[in-house]
Chains A and B, each alone.
Chain A
């Protein structure tokens, strides 16, 4: 069917919602990548097979929805039952029959499947009362985890494509750009460039052809914001892109997505096909005469291809190397034509801004960083997963209220934000409001929204070493400061971590970093030394300890630590069999001894010791 006007769109919305009202309950099975890996597919199949044999009043298999990621992957596979919001965690196929019997046919809650708060050991029935969810404000993730991603009707049922209709019929391109500018929306991909200003520049350049590209090349280790959005709400991204295209006058768009995201690619592809089928994409969209097509360009997973100019080269089929942007890509981008490039999360905010107005959006967050931001909260924190909070929320609120504090109640040491180009913030910055400018000022950056929490068992030199080694591999290798500079910087950090550090090495690293920042061609190089510089800035003592005292206080840098058995040892022999290098000797019920010459400091003994009898220092 082809939708020609708003009435038809609203009729369809009404039809789908009425169909849903037949069922007294809605079951949501999270089929985000995390839950799928944990076996969500088997649960979904089990629901289908049980329900095909069983008749329940006011309920049928159609009320079981396969949705995108809920963000609480750690507790997956997840099943939620609406309207109560009953939330079951770590569900297994064998639990499905019980869920159907107790919670769908009946109104009972299955105690054993509920979420247990690790701090209070209390069980919570509705996900709305779980701190991990209750402290969030989900705007970009509004539909992720609520609707079936593969069905355009579900998106239309929640009011989808009405913003597009409004933009196409009731607004001029200038008004749209004005609205986006007033909303204060800034690029979610890392740079934080005002989206409205970018669109304005693109629209003002004289050109016969313009492009809109969605950057879905999410490459930061541990980040999966864009992935979840594309998997869970692909139509939201498409709608945002179409509005952008109409505003700047583009008729062709690309989504540059990593080949490593098969589900995202599949869902986006299906969404595009459905849009075309419904007359929401292609020629003469919604009968307005506006034409726009979207193609998927799949990236092979080079981190540097998230950089705008490298990305555009890759879309064009060339080697993904950045170029100097003295002429910006918004003026001369893909195929040398003016190009608007925004991130997935930026585009998904657009339909809401057009639908609800810029005032509504600008009221969320801080005056200079409006709206919300999605973060992937990982590391040594109790609740890991995907979260969305208003800009300006403090680091403390994110880690302690949503994240539930540090794992095993260990002391907080640092939080790394912004991915490999970002930096580490210490305890003194816990009350820092998370927004574009505050983070940059503190020596880190927003980036695309990675947040890695570290406890006292994390060595900051080791952290810098890890991120530098990532960047050495991911540098495109075109310019000297990034290719050779980061390589040498990594070598210097390795030298310090191995206890070969000398006086003056810190200064040498700082000087080299300055040259890399000043001389590099693209953002990868200019921000590359950030992990090192920010850890030196806040944890200088730890570096000096490695250099002068040859000590790693976190017990991480192998060359600088020793494992020793203390008097708590009960002589259980567990560590002896765990040691692959036969470095531990001892008899039953006698304190064991580690032979330092044989010990490789792998940590296998610590992992098996139940008495906490092995010290690392």
Chain B
């Protein structure tokens, strides 16, 4: 166990834990867009920057992104130091110039008193804040279907060569993790379209409702040891079957008791 001070309060943390997790456990609200428990920390948005000092080194002060900074014994953390607040304001101001319509950015900025960007709006701006969550979750799933393309201000998230990505299985992890709902997909009947690629959805044998894509089912049965049969029923059917089984079990138990 490690003991550190956060905003004047002594706090315990596990060795190797990142500062942000400990801060969030204290119910201290600091903004962050690129951090998610499903993926490794990345440190792109810099919003979770905090100020750290240490009694052992008087005069030493550093600003670090808490999502990436491992806890240290005796560390003194200030999550709302004036310089840090100033930085967050500037960052949100900059993000607002790029993604003025993204609700997440609007809300976070408003909390820091920024309602309109003080910078020139980016002409080709959109809701993508380049947090990289989609790419990382796709990598984590094992597909590596999309990636960051280009660099600098022209960077964007895209499949290879802007063509329907051959490695995509239509699992929707990217769309679901996207904090600004920028990644769009359509489900129509038994067809799903994402990143310009079309998928056929497996229909539930019982209800006819779509479950997951054929490609995703194949992948899961191959790599995660789940029988392909499993995906021929949707969640509701699975639950019903489970309930029916449970009912049967309790029926037997009752019969045995009698």
Q: Which residues of A contact B (CB under 8 A)?
A: 302, 304, 319, 321, 323-324, 326, 472-481, 483-485, 487-488, 491, 508, 511-512, 515, 518-521
Cβ of B130 < 8 Å from any Cβ of A? yes
B46 touches A491 (CB 8 A): no
Q: Which of B64-72, B167-175, B185-193, B220-228 contacts its partner?
A: B64-72
User: Which B residue sits closest to A302, measured CB to CB?
Assistant: B151
Report B-chain residues with C-beta under 8 Å of the C-beta of A487.
122, 152-153
| B130-153 Cβ-contact flags toward A at 8 Å (1 or 0) | 101000000000000001101111
Min C-beta distance of B33 to chain A, whole Å: 9
B150 touches A477 (CB 8 A): yes
Residues from chain B with a CB closer than 8 A to the CB of A515 are 86-87, 90-91
Task: Number of B interface residues at 8 Å Cβ cutoff, please give it.
Answer: 36
**Which residues of B lie under 8 Å from residue A483 when comparing CB positions?**
130, 152-153, 155
Contact between chains at A477 and B148 (CB < 8 Å): yes
A479 touches B97 (CB 8 A): no
Known contacts A324-B68, A326-B68, A521-B43: A473-B152 contact under CB 8 Å = yes
Q: Which residue of chain A has the shortest Cβ distance to B47 in the bound complex?
A: A480
B49 near A: Cβ within 8 Å?
A: yes
Scoring A475, A480, A511 by chain B CB atoms within 10 A of each residue's CB, the highest score goes to: A480
- A sample of 25 cross-chain residue pairs with beta-carbon separation below 8 angstroms, ordered by A number, consists of A304-B151, A321-B148, A323-B43, A324-B43, A326-B64, A472-B152, A473-B153, A475-B152, A475-B153, A476-B151, A477-B151, A478-B130, A478-B132, A478-B148, A480-B91, A481-B91, A484-B94, A485-B90, A488-B97, A491-B119, A515-B87, A515-B91, A518-B87, A519-B46, A520-B46
Closest to B92 in A: A480
Q: State the Cβ distance, A492 to closest chain B Cβ, in Å.
A: 8
Q: Determine how close the nearest CB of chain A comes to the CB of B31; give it in whole angstroms.
A: 12
Check A479 against B45 for contact (C-beta < 8 Å). Answer: yes
Bound form: Cα–Cα A483–B34 in Å: 15
| Chain B: minimal CB distance from A217 (Å) | 15
Q: A483-B152, A487-B152 are in contact. List 14 more A-B contacts (CB 8 A).
A: A302-B151, A319-B148, A324-B69, A326-B70, A474-B152, A476-B151, A479-B45, A484-B94, A484-B98, A484-B153, A487-B122, A515-B87, A518-B87, A519-B46
- Asked if A479 and B46 make an inter-chain contact with CB atoms under 8 angstroms apart, the answer reads yes
Q: Is B256 an interface residue (CB 8 A)?
A: no
Which of B45, B64, B69, B120 makes the CB contact (< 8 A) with A491? B120
Determine whether B248 belongs to the interface, using a CB cutoff of 8 Å to chain A: no
- Measured CB to CB, the nearest residue on chain A to B72 is A326
Contact of A475 among B49, B87, B147, B151 (CB under 8 A): B151
Considering the chains assembled together, what is the distance between the CA atoms of A523 and B83 in angstroms?
A: 20
Residues of A within 8 A of B69 (CB): 324, 326
Assess the A488–B148 pair: CB atoms within 8 A: no
Residues of B104-146 at the interface with A, using a CB-CB cut-off of 8 Å, are 118-120, 122, 130, 132
Query: Are A480 and B46 touching (Cβ within 8 A)?
Result: yes
Determine if B97 and A484 form an interchain contact, defined as CB atoms under 8 angstroms apart.
yes
Nearest chain B residue, comparing its CB with the CB of A488? B119
Chain B 2-45: CB-based contact to A (< 8 A → 1; otherwise 0): 00000000000000000000000000000000000000001111
Bound-state CA distance A521–B44 (Å) is 8
Give complex CA distance A519, B95 in Å. Answer: 14
Contact A479 B95 (CB under 8 A): no
Distance from B93 Cβ to chain A, minimum over Cβ atoms (Å): 9
Residues on B with beta carbons closer than 8 Å to the beta carbon of A475: 151-153
CB distance A477 to B45 under 8 Å? no
Bound CA span A491–B121, Å: 11
B52-101, CB < 8 A from A: 63-65, 68-70, 83, 86-87, 90-91, 94-95, 97-98
CB-CB nearest 7 A-B residue pairs: A477-B155, A515-B90, A484-B94, A475-B152, A324-B68, A488-B119, A519-B46
Residue of B at shortest CB range from A495? B120
How far does the Cβ of A476 sit from chain B's closest Cβ, in whole Å? 5
Bound CA span A218–B154, Å: 23
Q: A472-B152, A474-B151 are in contact. Are A480 and B86 (CB under 8 A)?
A: no
User: In the complex, A472 Cα to B152 Cα: how many Å?
Assistant: 6
In this complex, what residue of A is CB-closest to B41? A324
Please indicate the chain A residues that have their CB under 8 angstroms from the CB of B47 in the complex. 480
B63 near A518 with CB under 8 A, answer yes
Q: Roughly how many angstroms separate A479 CA and B32 CA in the complex, as a whole number?
A: 12
Q: Given the complex, which residues of B lie within 8 Å of A323, measured CB to CB?
A: 43
Question: What residues of chain B lie closer than 8 Å to A508, measured between beta carbons?
Answer: 118
Across the interface, which residues of A come within 8 angstroms of B151, CB to CB? 302, 304, 473-477
- A323, A475, A481: which has the most chain B beta carbons within 10 Å? A481
CA distance A426 to B44 in the complex (A): 36
Tell me, in angstroms, the Cα distance from A477 to B151 when the chains sit together.
5
Instruction: Report A-chain residues with C-beta under 8 Å of the C-beta of B154.
Output: 477
Closest B-chain residue to A521, C-beta based? B43
Closest to A490 in B: B153
Q: Note all chain A residues with C-beta closer than 8 A to B68.
A: 324, 326
Contacts A326-B64, A491-B120; is A477 near B153 (CB within 8 Å)?
A: yes
With known contacts A323-B43, A324-B68, A481–B94 Cβ distance under 8 A: yes
The docked-state distance in angstroms from the alpha carbon of A518 to that of B97 is 20
Q: In the docked arrangement, what's the CA distance between A477 and B155, Å?
A: 6
**B-side contacts of A321, CB under 8 Å:** 148
| Chain B residues whose C-beta falls within 8 Å of the C-beta of A302 in the assembled complex | 151
Shortest CB-to-CB span from A316 to chain B, Å, is 14
The CA of A479 and the CA of B152, in the complex, are separated in Å by 9
Q: B96: nearest residue on chain A (CB-CB)?
A: A484
List chain A residues, Cβ under 8 A from B118: 508
Q: Give B60 Cβ to nearest chain A Cβ, in Å.
A: 14
A484 with B44, Cβ < 8 A, contacts A324-B65, A476-B152 known = no
| A480, B44: Cβ atoms closer than 8 Å | yes
Chain A residues whose CB sits within 8 angstroms of the CB of B153 once the complex forms: 472-473, 475, 477, 483-484, 487
Distance in angstroms from A347 CB to nearest chain B CB is 28
CB closest chain-A residue, reference B129: A480
Given the complex, which residues of B lie within 8 Å of A481, measured CB to CB?
46, 90-91, 94
Which of B183-239 touch A at CB < 8 Å? none
A478 near B90 with CB under 8 A, answer no
Task: For B42, list chain A residues within 8 Å (CB).
Answer: 478
Contacts of A476 in B (CB 8 A): 151-152, 155
Q: How far is the CB of A468 from chain B (nearest CB, A)?
A: 12
Chain B: CB-nearest residue to A322: B43
- Contact call B120/A488, Cβ cutoff below 8 A: yes
Residue of A nearest to B125 (CB): A484
Among residues of A, the one whose C-beta sits closest to the C-beta of B132 is A478
Task: State the Cβ distance, B175 to closest chain A Cβ, in Å.
Answer: 22
Contact B44 A512 (CB under 8 A): no
Q: Is the CB of B90 within 8 A of A512?
A: yes
Residue of B nearest to A326 (CB): B69
Task: Give chain A residues whose Cβ lies under 8 Å from the Cβ of B98.
Answer: 484
Whole-angstrom distance between the alpha carbons of A319 and B136 in the complex? Answer: 13
| Closest A residue by C-beta to B68 | A324
